[in-house]
Amino acid sequence: MEKKESTEPAEPVLRQLIPDGDVILLVGSEQIKIQISSHLLCKTSPVFKTMLNSGFEEGRAFRERYNSPAEIKLPDDSPEAV
């Protein structure tokens, strides 16, 4: 029997830097998932502090999340750099 290749893209890889983190960064064109803590992001990056504590789309998504981490897309960034 012939095996057919799936035309659907594979689920992005999840790298859990903080396993119970409340944010998942979707990085690069491959959308590598990196789970991390918003507290850590805000303490180490003024950009993320502003992004998560403002009226930006990412901040609203973070505040409106329920029992799952908020996802923030970073398509122009490199997973290795993050």
Average the pLDDT over 1-26 and give the result. Answer: 77
- Among 26, 22, 3, residue whose Cα is nearest residue 11: 26
Q: Is the pLDDT of residue 10 over 80?
A: no
Instruction: Label residue 3 exposed, middle or buried (CB < 10 Å: 0-12, 13-18, 19+).
Output: exposed
Global pTM? 0.77
Shortest CA distance to 25 belongs to which of 63, 62, 67?
Answer: 62
pLDDT, tens only, 26-70: 999 889 999 999 999 999 999 999 988 888 888 888 888 878 899
Written as one letter, the residue type at 63 is R
Beta-bridged to residue 32, according to DSSP, are: 27
For the chain, what are the domain ranges? 14-74
pLDDT at 74 over 80: yes
Q: What is the pLDDT of residue 16?
A: 92
